[in-house]
A and B are shown apart, each in its own frame.
Chain A
Amino acid sequence: MQEIRFHGRGGQGTVLASISLAKAFFEAGWEVQTFPLFGVERRGAPVEAYLRIAHEKIYLRSGVYTPDHIVVMDAKLIGAIDVTRGLKPGGWILVNSPVRPHIDVTAGGFHLAWVDATGVAVAHRLGTRTHPIINTAVLGAFARTFGMPELGHIEAAIRQEVPVKKEENVAAAHAAYDQVHFLNGEEA
């Protein structure tokens, strides 16, 4: 079983990204479980969502404390909150950022990747310039960073989940897939 934690802000589609990803993994034959941080979500406030994937039925129903990987939807959260808390040594960190995010990877032997999901969303006219909808771009970048699930399953999940601009969202996932940067060029 693998556990992935998502960090974002209320209104950014963090929970929806986790749900869409769960559906994509499910389509790809995985067992899945996803849930938000149990609480009250406020627009702009830090939020978390969690995803478990496994090849057998998932029985564990307590919180996620030591994720295998993390996804950060907003680079400004780094430093404001401890995004790598509990992250297993050797885990991957995917950040939405136009430049290399300031995050210490040496202590935990973490792997770092980043993508300008905000830039991709704006280029595909998803949301507004001040409030771009970035989650579909993040899903594309996730597929590239982790080598799973296949982009086709991401596409299917986006078409199923996103109510408007389905094709623009699929295109954003493709664009982000191609624009992921890897620290030291090391891919998963």
Chain B
Amino acid sequence: MRQVLEGSHAISEAVRLAKVQVVAGYPITPQTHIIEAISQHCADGSLKARFIPVESEHSSMAAVIGAAATGVRTFTATSSHGLALMHEVLHWASAARLPIVMGEVNRALGPGWNIWMDQSDSLAQRDTGWIQLYCEDAQDALDTTLIAFRLAETVNLPAMVVIDAFYVSHTFEPVDVPAPETVDRFLPPLEPRFRIDVDHPRALYPMVGPAFFMEMRRSIQDGMDAAGPAFDAIAGEFENVFGRRHDAVETVGCEDADLVLVTTGSVTSTARIVIARQREAGKRVGLCKIKQFRPFPAETIRAVLGPAPRIAVIDRNVSFGSGGIFAREIQGALCPLEKRPAVYSYIAGLGGRDITPETIAEVLRLAEETPMPAAESCWVGLNPEVRP
């Protein structure tokens, strides 16, 4: 049934519908609403899960790792400094091949102290072996959370469902919340491939020397390689059951485009308006939304972006000393092509700075007017009076 829900609560609802068995959580703005609602669901019995309040984010990840090792469905959520504090155990979760799902609300890291939208927190965890799925709005957040459980449990890797601070987390909008019976058809109870079982004792996670370690790492890579096709198959099933389509990479009007704008997260919605307007005005512009960041859908990127003469990437993040992270990943993916599009990299909207239709139009104008892209990322909207 369609109802007006906060983006954070769209994830909480998905967790309830997924019949998660253990949830651990620690509050941090702007994530707190997700965990708050889940603890309420646990208290009123609408979710029959064990809720473990802990003393830090490192402990919440450690708690769900322990729980997941016993073969139950688990969830936690965090943001920014909380995610950074989890870093060590994020590696543990993926190397232990535990299908934990985590809600991640994109927020900047301080100082300067900042609670607003910025992708630097989740992207700093890109090499931890977690699947990363970015969401455009509240409906996308609910649907992606359900897909994430199926995906994580299919390939035995943990998955992060990422939403924008405030633009999605604190925004109320209509969301179709599916009936529990419908979700049950899509997401059956977890059947773990291995688990701690006192009746059948065995050792998990021992010391591994050079003779085996590399093969273990290769098996994580194999899991990630399998996650791409698995996402496509699960998203197809999702569409059959719920009637909504979610692609790892979604394109709008890219086939004949002279210039394709690449976005992630909530900026995509605003960009849809700008692209539609420019199309109406006769400009051949297209839009490409990247939902799946890990595994990076390089093959799809080559197929949909390869034919475009020019690509403009908006990054709400920066890797200091390199540039916009999505732009760099795309450049890497396009590298094997003989004829490659020119990739223009733009950094915008850091620390909650608004990305308006005008900002997006400015990015498109800059890309159109610049004959050759610079090697460095171009920062959009810097205030010269503030910049030292």
Contacts and interface: CB of A to CB of B under 8 A. Distances in A.
Interface of A: 19, 22-23, 26, 31-36, 38-40, 58-63, 65
Nearest to A51: B172
Given A19-B4, A62-B354, A33 B173 contact: yes
Contact of A32 (B173, B270, B272, B356): B173
Nearest to A37: B166
A59 B356 CA distance: 12
A38 B166 contact: yes
A61 B270 contact: yes
A65 B171 CA distance: 17
B171 A35 contact: yes
Contact of B4 (A32, A39, A59, A60): A32
B270 A34 contact: no
Contact of B357 (A23, A34, A36, A62): A62
Contact of B273 (A22, A34, A60): A60
A61 B266 contact: yes
Nearest to A40: B115
A82 to B, nearest CB: 19
A89 to B, nearest CB: 20
B174 interface: yes
A59 B173 contact: no
17 contacts: A19-B4, A22-B4, A32-B174, A33-B172, A35-B171, A35-B172, A36-B170, A38-B117, A38-B166, A40-B29, A40-B115, A60-B270, A61-B171, A62-B270, A62-B356, A62-B359, A63-B356
Q: Taking each of B166, B174, B354, which has the highest tally of chain A beta carbons within 10 Å of its own beta carbon?
A: B174
Contact of B170 (A22, A38, A59): A38
B40 to A, nearest CB: 13
A39 B173 CA distance: 19
Contacts of A40: 29, 115
Contacts of A32: 4, 172-174
Contact of B352 (A35, A38, A58, A59): A38
A35 B272 contact: no
A143 to B, nearest CB: 17
Contacts of A34: 171-173
Contacts of B115: 39-40
B266 to A, nearest CB: 5
Interface string B150-189: 0000000000000001110011111000000000000000
B116 interface: yes
Contact of A23 (B4, B29, B167, B269): B4
Nearest to B2: A26
B167 A61 contact: yes
Contacts of B355: 62
B267 interface: yes
A15 B283 CA distance: 40
Given A34-B173, A35-B166, A36-B170, 9 more contacts: A31-B174, A33-B173, A34-B171, A34-B172, A38-B170, A38-B352, A59-B270, A62-B356, A62-B359
